[in-house]
Amino acid sequence: MNNYREEDREEFDEIFPNYSPDLFEVSIRTVSITFGNYPDLNYNHIVVDIPIKYSGKQRGVYKILFKFNGEVEDDFFIIQ
């Protein structure tokens, strides 16, 4: 969240008004394996979905894509 706040302050302030870390609720919803780029199946990941609630309201989902060796391949926040 701190990186997001620094990288896009205007959007962050719109989604998380009156920012306070105490108002966040986060928990892992799912952990799954994806086999992408069909039929080659050469873009594969372990995907972790973390719903983000702020001030009691669902704001989006944070997704982290891990390589099978545990290294982070990508991450992103999907605004809802």
In tens, the pLDDT along 8-39 reads 999 999 999 999 999 999 999 999 999 999 99
Asked if 48 contacts 30 with a C-beta cutoff of 8 angstroms, the reply is yes
Bridging pattern class, strands 43-54 and 24-26: antiparallel
23-79: pLDDT as tens digits: 999 999 999 999 999 999 999 999 999 999 999 999 999 999 999 999 999 999 999
pLDDT of residue 80: 87
The label of the residue with tokens 């999907």 reads 78
pLDDT of residue 2: 85
Asked if 52 contacts 32 with a C-beta cutoff of 8 angstroms, the reply is no
Residue 52 CA, chain-centre distance (Å), reads 8
Indicate whether 1 pLDDT > 90. Answer: no
Q: Considering only CA atoms, which of 54, 74, 56, 52 is closest in space to residue 64? A: 74
pLDDT of residue 19: 93
